Structure 1
Amino acid sequence: MKKIILSAMMLTGMLTFAQEGKLSVSGTVDVYGTVNTVDGPGAPGLLVDAPGTATMFGLGMANTIFAYESGKAGAVVDLAYGPRSADASGYGGIVNQMYAYYMINDALTVTAGQFNTFLGYEVISPAANFNYTVSYLFNAGPFTHIGAKLDYAASEDLSFMLAVTNPHGNFGTGYGNEFAQLGFQAGYKGQYLNIAYGAYGADGFGATDQLYIDYTGGFDLTESFYLGINAAHSSSADAKSGYQGAALYLQYAATESLSLGLRPEYFALNGDANADESVTAITLTANAALTDNLSLIADLRFDSSDDMMIEESGEDSLTQLTVAAVYSF
């Protein structure tokens, strides 16, 4: 009898909880097939644990996002499983995001926890990217941060963000008390200037003066033609290394369900440790919405580097064709 009463009380509490707030569940599932033109495996940009060994058919990731909001506060738990998310997700390769937020007023929101980076054009989830394979700029990171940020919407067009986080790559376990990383973003009509400065905590890198400057934006050139832009620079006097690069995202809506795209990219390492090594990548993409939930994405990608910088392939050039199915719910 006590168990029946306790169960009834728990059910009543759950129903009350649901009525007071709003719980939503969303996510994605993706799979792919890939081939290349070299004698061996390799698929740059697939975000698997070892992209140099990727071949034939593979799993992307399963992404499930639980979001709850009640009044001025809310929380998000974003879980990602699979080889696509293993390197990019945060603690344990499973927790992509986990944070709580409070809306101080209509313009000011404070967030604390683990959240995806504000740097860059592309994101971890394949459903939010036009291309399926990702750029070298994206793979250079960072992917996520742990800390707190303050977002301020000055108007519909103008916004600012300030962040104090762990050195990226430091998820609160296994590292020392390195100097925190500071972040800033200014956005105006879809154009964003992003800056991060501080320590780099992953893999014992040890730099305390890592600087990131990133521009992300885009323009509707016509009703059917869009141009996206990402340019970034990173440097460290401590580590005597860094990188810079730029990518364009040209997208043409051929029909309501089919879009074609071109992504040219240049990426280079710099500093004493890297001797100005560089790589270029050109990706042709067809993105077709088969249903409201299911998309088919085909990437034909050409990577070239005289410095053997193609992602873990050991080749000076590589051509790959990747076809992926991405289901969103």
Structure 2
Amino acid sequence: MKKIIFSLLLASTLIVNAQEEDKGTFTLSGTVDVYGTTNFTKDPGTPGILIANPENANAFGLGFANTVFAYEKGKAGVVADLAFGPKADDANLAGAINQLYAYYKATDKLTFTAGQFNTFLGYEVISPAANFNYTVSYLFNAGPFSHTGIKADYAVSEDLSFMLAVTNAHALTSADGNFADATQLGAQIGYKGQYLNFIAGAVDATSAKDYIFLDYTGGFDLSETFFLGINAAYVTSSDDQTGYQGAALYLQNTFSDTFALGLRPELFQYNGDANADESVTAVTLSANVSLTGNLKLITDLRFDSSDDFIIEAFPTEKSTSTLTIAAVYSF
């Protein structure tokens, strides 16, 4: 009888353990941000707020609210990143979906991903919680924001990685369809935190298919408190006779656990017959203050200048200064 009871208890323990192992891992995270902004010119607006109409970024506004649902079990998992607000309206490709993808870890080094995922180009990202500055650069606003397709990531070591991707043209939404066979081939080489990115193909359903995107993103810890980030990009299309190039530096110093100061100088230039080599410069001084482990204030004092009248939100001005204070909460 004791043997039977022991066997039943052992079987029950094994079943419970198996059920616990089969549950997988579920995580929930997200961000919320709001801002107040003003400028020192006669016209309304703020460059780099990332809304469809930057001239409407005045006084107080809503930025971005997203919730990321992630579930992983064994070698596979899914991520659903739902985002709302003016910033999300600009960046999302499918309604409220910022990202929606499934992945499979074929080996410890090789991972396949399919769906809609944020771009691998550039230094800045859509969510302000992951950016040092609140207003975004001209390089970031030039896009792309996200891609829909498949990619393969291969981690050779902790220092070296490779990525290949086949996606729709990045301006196509899931609702558009891809009737023009507008696709892109993407690649990335990463080495010790430095990334060289490449995209070739179409931009949207009506563009030429010879666009080339070259992008370098990286950074260096120059001391225990001082960091230098770098983003440089070059985009061209011979058939459409257009493109752009630019570079931005991210100089950031951490003074304490709760305060950091950063400077982002940027030069951005359109190329080709359609834009006649128009250029703009922007310098942004940003202060980050952590009020709690989840809530931080980002203050941007920004100066934009262009003799070609291409300042975002200010098409009739050669220069403008703006001040933006944002509260960003992450969980």
TM-score range, shorter chain: over 0.9
C-alpha deviations, 1:233-275, integer Å up to 9, x for none? 0000111000000000000001111000000000000001000
How far did 1:177 drift? Answer: 2.7
| Alpha-carbon contact 1:91-1:171 (below 8 Å) kept | yes
Between Structure 1 and Structure 2, whose CA radius of gyration is higher? 2
| 1:267-315 Cα shifts (integer Å, max 9, x gaps) | 0000010000000000000001110000000000000001111113122
Please say if residues 230 and 247 of structure 1, whose CA atoms lie closer than 8 Å, have aligned partners that are also in contact.
Answer: yes
How many pairs does the alignment contain?
311
1:104 counterpart (106, 122, 128): 106
User: 305-314 or 183-192: which moved more?
Assistant: 305-314
Indicate the residue corresponding to 1:170 in structure 2.
172
Query: How far is 1:18 from its partner?
Result: 9.3
Aligned match of 2:198 in 192, 195, 198? 195
Encode CA deviations 1:91-115: one digit per residue, 9 max, x unaligned.
Answer: 12x2100000000000000000000
Matched, 1:77 2:72: no
Pick closer, same or farther for the CA change 1:236–1:109 going to 2, 3 Å: same
SS of structure 2 residue aligned to 1:164: strand
Name the SS of the counterpart of 1:43 in structure 2: coil
2:257 maps to 256
Alignment-mate amino acid for residue 215 of structure 2 = D
Q: Does 1:323 align with 2:289?
A: no
Q: Are the equivalent residues in 1 in contact too, given 2:116–2:149 (CA < 8 A)?
A: yes
1:205 Cα deviation after fit: 4.2
Contact 1:267/1:280 (8 A) holds in 2:
yes
In structure 1, the partner of 2:14 is none
Distance in 2 (CA, whole Å) between partners of 1:295 and 1:160 is 34
Which of 23, 26, 31 is 2:29 aligned to? Answer: 26
Alignment of 1:30-41 (within 5 A): 30-41=33-44
Determine the C-alpha separation between the residues in 1 that align with 2:26 and 2:242: 45
Question: In structure 2, what residue type is equivalent to 1:155?
Answer: S
Distance 1:237 1:74 in 2: 40
Give the equivalent residue in structure 2 for 1:139: 141
Query: 2:241·2:273 contact (CA, 8 Å) conserved in 1?
Result: yes
Q: CA deviation at 1:207?
A: 1.5
Amino acid aligned to 1:97: Q
Given that 1:178 and 1:208 are in contact with CA atoms closer than 8 Å, whether structure 2 keeps it comes out as no
Q: Partner of 1:57 in structure 2?
A: 60
Which amino acid letter does the alignment assign opposite residue 187 of structure 1?
G
The AA in structure 2 aligned to 1:32 is Y
The two structures have a TM-score, normalised by structure 2, of 0.92
Q: Helix, strand or coil for the counterpart of 1:87?
A: helix
Q: Once the two structures are superposed, what CA deviation does each residue of 1:37-91 show, in whole Å capped at 9, x if it has no partner?
A: 1112110000112002210000001110000000000000001100012111221
**Cα pair 1:283 1:302 within 8 Å, conserved:** yes
Q: How does 1:40-51 map to 2 (within 5 A)?
A: 40-51=43-54
Equivalent residue number for residue 287 of structure 1 = 288
Residue ranges of structure 2 left out of the alignment (5+ in a row): 1-18
Residues 252 and 261 of structure 1 are in contact (CA less than 8 Å); yes or no, is this contact kept in structure 2? yes
Tell me the equivalent position of 1:3: none
3-state secondary structure, aligned to 2:91: coil
Equivalences for 1:95-244 in 2 at 5 Å? 95-174=97-176, 175-201=178-204, 204-244=205-245
Runs of 4+ in 1 over 3 A off after TM superposition: 16-19
Q: CA RMSD in A?
A: 1.2
Q: Is this contact kept in 1: 2:148–2:168, CA < 8 A?
A: yes
Structure 1 residues 289-304: aligned runs within 5 Å: 289-304=290-305
Amino-acid identity (%): 63
- SS of match in other structure, 2:87: helix
Q: Which residue of structure 1 lines up, in the alignment, with residue 10 of structure 2? A: none
Aligned partners of 1:137 and 1:267 also within 8 Å: yes
Give the counterpart letter for 1:183 in structure 2. Answer: G
Given that 1:212 and 1:232 are in contact with CA atoms closer than 8 Å, whether structure 2 keeps it comes out as yes
After TM superposition, the score normalised by the length of structure 1 is 0.92
Give the structure 2 partner of residue 275 of structure 1. Answer: 276
Compared CA separation, residues 55 and 18, structure 1 to 2 (3 A): farther
